Amino acid sequence: MTKPLVLVTADVKPIDGFNWHAVNATYLHAVLQGSDSVPLILPSLGPELDVDAALDQVDGVLATGSRSNVNPAIYGQEPTEENGPYDPDRDATTLPLLKRAIERGIPVFAICRGMQELNVALGGTLLTEIQTISGREDHRAPVSDQQDERFRIAHPVDVTDGGCLEQVLGSDPFEVNSLHRQAVGDLGAGLVMEAQAEDGTIEAMSVQDSCGYVLATQWHPEYWVSTDGPSQKLFSAFGDAVRAYREKRLGR
């Protein structure tokens, strides 16, 4: 049996005078190994791209993290130089992509920026530069040239009772990495919190009463998927969902 296909969202990176559409390879390996699916990079072409035509061909969507942030103007706030960089082509691609995937019942796993995109796509807001907000911890990555240090386990999260995340990981608190300056503010339509950090930062969410599998994490399970139990379980559950959707899509 052929394996499921998973769209992976991309950044636009200016390199050598050209715009490159790029994805951190850790996401691709996590889809391939963790969910036993074939990753396909989706270019961020904005309105030029027919997202429904792309979704017609696939069984899931992985919305990736990024150094860039969703432009605050989209959710009614003021963009600032401090809050950048921004990626308008990615915003114009991924926000409608996620909304349509949910409407169509296509499994979605959204990570870091992807989780923030999901919230904005459904009408929610973000908190920018949360390390400056009273009562919030500094959730940014450690300053290091070593990726293992930047992605090291940083703090515990508490799982919401009776939620989707509890079904995947159980109810016991566990620890996650942390590499973000933004966080979910007001939840978008239909979204519910699945986990939070000790300072109240929303660390995971899902779509209530969704017709398809939708889960988002603020942390980065893709980085430790080969060695960390919770990370493996998250990608395995996503893989189960995309295989089930593929069977339904192909009428099997």
Per-residue pLDDT tens listing for the chain (252 residues): 689 999 999 999 999 999 999 999 999 999 999 999 999 999 999 999 999 999 999 999 999 999 999 999 999 999 998 898 999 999 999 999 999 999 999 999 999 999 999 999 999 999 998 999 999 988 999 889 999 999 999 999 999 999 999 999 998 888 999 999 999 999 999 999 999 999 999 999 999 887 679 999 999 999 999 999 999 999 999 999 999 999 999 987
- Which pTM was predicted? 0.96
Residue with tokens 């409407």: 103
Question: Which among 117, 180, 203, 220 is annotated as catalytic?
Answer: 220
Is residue 220 part of the annotated active site? The answer reads: yes
Residues 6+ apart with CB under 8 A from 150: 141, 142, 144, 179
pLDDT of residue 1: 63
Domains of the chain: 5-249 (3.40.50.880)
Which is nearest to 42 in space by CA: 251, 180, 124, 31?
A: 31
**pLDDT in the model for residue 232:** 96
Strand blocks (E) in 106-201: 108-111, 126-127, 153-159, 174-177, 183-184, 191-197
- Which one, of 249, 62, 218, 212, lies nearest residue 139 by Cα? 218
Catalytic entry in 117, 194, 203, 222: 222
Distance of alpha carbon 250 from alpha carbon 227, whole angstroms: 33
Q: How far apart are CA 70 and CA 61, in angstroms?
A: 18
Q: Is 180 annotated as catalytic? A: no
222 assigned to active site: yes
Per annotation, catalytic residue among 112, 117, 139, 203: 112
